[in-house]
């Protein structure tokens, strides 16, 4: 049986929370979800697996359909974010027009939240809930054995939609998963604009975050922290190095939930003398000053910290469980260890006003991160803040559910418009970017830190993108 795993085009995506100019300058990253699925299917007798990253390879839905037909694909898996739903639908439609017998299964965050709506669109045969590695493997094997409609917990059939079982399970031991099959996609095309090291890849060392931030949008991964062992993580980094990859960007919700594991990862990298750069997302307050020095020696180049706001009352309201003083200490410790930092801030939180915005911009400058990422609060489905918006009448209808059931190209993701309206928030977003990136001190600092011609070009491109925001 032949299987094709697809990350769909993004040409008709729902508008981003970022200014388009900033979004376009970020880089290109491999779709880890489909590569994890491919890893589980690798070396299974009777299964031949292919993968397409349409966004990176600039593939149209028609081209994907032609590939399905030419390769005589039996099963297509499409990974779907709500942002890319329209492109995913068109991709499935084109495949069905050219290869009507090909089975299509939808997976990823969107069909997890809206499985029934996804199947009722009429172009997907199945929808997968939660984490797909184990259930998709079983599903593919049963199809390969001749089962016409395998009954797999966590996978819903369109033909049985009215009696669908929406229960699902998380994978308890992530060490048992095979590494993502990165060789199926063009490794050399992936990079981060923040890094001079190419090619780069993404990875996850854990799933699930135990914290309760009201804006969190990862419901398919759950709230129980499930870490991979330090040894397993470093073995994957070593495998990446063997493929010629020079930087691993960890996409965990919070890489540092277990301080002991973080230190063990660094110590194993040093013990193995593994020469590869890496990049993590972390929570301020998790590490001690001496930890940053160990991480730097082990090749950690960059830490992304979610600070979110410079206002203490807003921090408490969004249940971030950090303090501004912890943020100051974390950025200083990382800076003293020689690790680059990126600070994330959200504009438009409930209760936001001009005073809180000013505190956020002031804190962003005070922390002196190497990079800062401001975004508007998008009210994602299945998050506490989305429920709050509905309860308070900030949004009058369940807009995401309506979009899932009847997607259209004019849909705009809702934001929290209460004290400040959309145009005021967009203006604040642009002001925040300019206030940070066009400080003379910052510009001189970045020029001094740029370590390569490629890095210089990346920084200039990012700068002109920000300058171009109207």
Residue corresponding to tokens 């490794």? 187
Q: What pLDDT, on the 0 to 100 scale, is given for residue 397?
A: 96
- What DSSP string describes 132-158? -HHHHHHHHHHHHTT-SS---TTEEEG
Can you tell me the distance from the alpha carbon of 414 to that of 397, in angstroms, rounded to the nearest whole number? 10
Write out 278-294 in H/E/C secondary structure. EEEEECCCCCCHHHHHH
Rounded to two decimals, the pTM is 0.93
Per-residue pLDDT of the chain (470 residues; tens, 9 = 90+): 999 999 999 999 888 655 554 555 568 999 999 999 999 999 899 999 999 999 999 999 999 999 999 999 999 999 999 999 999 999 999 999 999 999 999 999 999 999 999 999 999 999 999 999 999 999 999 998 988 888 899 999 999 888 778 888 889 999 999 999 999 999 999 999 889 999 999 999 999 988 889 998 777 777 789 999 999 999 999 999 999 999 999 999 999 999 999 999 999 999 999 999 999 999 999 999 999 999 999 999 999 999 999 999 999 999 999 999 999 999 999 999 999 999 999 999 999 999 999 999 999 999 999 999 999 999 999 999 999 999 999 999 999 999 999 999 999 999 999 999 999 999 999 999 999 998 888 888 777 776 555 555 555 555 545 444 43
Can you tell me the distance from the alpha carbon of 286 to that of 301, in angstroms, rounded to the nearest whole number? 18
Write out 393-423 in H/E/C secondary structure. CCCCCCHHHHHHHCCCCCCCCCECCCCCCHH
For the chain, give the longest Cα–Cα distance.
66
The beta-carbon contacts of 20-25 under 8 Å, at least 24 apart in sequence, are 21/465, 21/466, 21/468, 21/469, 22/433, 22/462, 22/465, 22/466, 22/469, 24/465, 25/193, 25/461, 25/462, 25/465
Write out 163-185 in H/E/C secondary structure. HCCCCCCCCCCHHHCCCCCHHHC
Q: Which two tokens stand for residue 438?
A: 């066009």
- 324-337 vs 289-297: helix crossing angle, rounded to 10: 40
| Contact predicate 164/30, CB 8 Å | no
Q: What is the DSSP letter of 176?
A: G
From the list 413, 420, 466, the residue with the least C-alpha distance to 314 is 420
Can you tell me the distance from the alpha carbon of 470 to that of 467, in angstroms, rounded to the nearest whole number? 8
**Which SS3 state, helix, strand or coil, does residue 163 take?**
helix
Q: What pLDDT, on the 0 to 100 scale, is given for residue 468?
A: 47
Please, what is the end-to-end C-alpha distance for the chain in angstroms? Answer: 51
Q: Which two tokens stand for residue 462?
A: 């990012």
**Which SS3 state, helix, strand or coil, does residue 375 take?**
strand
> If you count them, how many residues does the chain have?
470
Q: What pLDDT, on the 0 to 100 scale, is given for residue 220?
A: 73
Q: Which two tokens stand for residue 341?
A: 């930092």
Residue range 329-386, pLDDT digits in tens = 999 999 999 999 999 999 999 999 999 999 999 999 999 999 999 999 999 999 999 9
**Which SS3 state, helix, strand or coil, does residue 238 take?**
helix
Half-sphere exposure of 411 (CA within 13 A, CB side): 21
Can you tell me the distance from the alpha carbon of 77 to that of 52, in angstroms, rounded to the nearest whole number? 10
Can you tell me the distance from the alpha carbon of 32 to that of 202, in angstroms, rounded to the nearest whole number? 7
Q: Give the gyration radius of the chain's Cα atoms.
A: 22
Q: Which two tokens stand for residue 469?
A: 């925001």
Half-sphere exposure of 212 (CA within 13 A, CB side): 4
Can you tell me the distance from the alpha carbon of 297 to that of 294, in angstroms, rounded to the nearest whole number? 5
| Contact predicate 374/347, CB 8 Å | yes
| Contact predicate 272/237, CB 8 Å | no
**Which SS3 state, helix, strand or coil, does residue 242 take?**
helix
**Which SS3 state, helix, strand or coil, does residue 6 take?**
strand
Half-sphere exposure of 271 (CA within 13 A, CB side): 10
Q: What is the DSSP letter of 229?
A: P
Domains in the chain, CATH or no CATH each: 2-163 (3.40.50.280), 190-378+415-442 (3.20.20.70)
């Amino acid at each position: 049986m032949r299987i094709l795993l697809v990350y769909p085009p993004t040409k008709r995506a729902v508008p981003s929370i970022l200014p388009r100019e900033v979004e376009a300058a970020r880089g290109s990253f491999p779709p880890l979800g489909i590569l994890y699925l491919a890893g589980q299917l690798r070396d299974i007798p009777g299964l031949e697996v292919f993968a397409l990253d349409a966004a990176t390879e600039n593939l149209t839905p028609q081209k994907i359909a032609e590939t399905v037909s030419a390769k005589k694909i039996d099963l297509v898996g499409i990974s779907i974010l709500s942002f890319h739903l329209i492109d995913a639908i068109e991709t499935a439609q084109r495949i069905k027009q050219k290869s009507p017998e090909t089975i299509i299964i939808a997976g990823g965050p969107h069909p997890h939240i809206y499985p029934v709506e996804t199947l009722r669109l009429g172009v997907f045969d199945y929808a997968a809930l939660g984490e797909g590695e184990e259930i998709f493997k079983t599903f593919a094997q049963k199809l390969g054995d001749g089962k016409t409609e395998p009954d797999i917990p966590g996978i819903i059939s369109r033909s049985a939609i009215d009696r669908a079982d929406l229960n699902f399970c998380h994978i308890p031991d992530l060490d048992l998963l095979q590494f993502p099959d990165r060789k199926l996609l063009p490794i050399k095309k992936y990079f981060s604009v923040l890094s001079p090291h190419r090619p780069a890849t993404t990875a996850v060392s854990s799933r699930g975050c135990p914290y309760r931030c009201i804006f969190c949008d990862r419901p398919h991964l759950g709230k129980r922290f499930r870490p991979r062992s330090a040894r397993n993580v470093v073995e994957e980094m070593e495998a990446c190095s063997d493929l010629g990859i020079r930087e691993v960007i960890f996409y965990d919700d919070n890489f540092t939930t277990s301080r002991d594991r973080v230190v063990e990862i660094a110590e194993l990298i040093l013990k193995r003398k593994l020469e590869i750069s890496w990049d993590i997302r972390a929570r301020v307050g998790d590490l001690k000053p001496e930890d940053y020095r160990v991480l730097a020696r082990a090749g950690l180049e960059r830490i992304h910290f979610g600070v979110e706001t410079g206002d203490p009352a807003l921090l408490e309201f969004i249940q971030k469980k950090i303090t501004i003083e912890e943020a100051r200490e974390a950025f200083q410790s990382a800076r003293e260890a020689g690790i680059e930092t990126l600070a994330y801030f959200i504009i438009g939180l409930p209760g936001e006003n001009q005073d809180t915005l000013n505190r956020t911009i002031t804190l962003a400058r005070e922390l002196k991160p190497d990079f800062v990422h401001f975004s508007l609060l998008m009210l994602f489905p299945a998050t506490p803040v989305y429920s709050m918006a509905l309860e308070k009448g900030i949004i009058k209808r369940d807009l995401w559910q309506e979009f899932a059931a009847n997607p259209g190209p004019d849909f705009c993701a809702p934001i929290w418009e209460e004290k400040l309206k959309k145009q005021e928030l967009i203006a604040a977003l642009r002001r925040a970017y300019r206030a940070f990136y066009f400080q003379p001190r910052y510009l001189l600092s970045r020029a001094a830190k740029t370590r390569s011609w490629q890095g210089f070009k990346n920084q200039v491109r990012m700068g002109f993108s920000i300058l171009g925001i109207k």
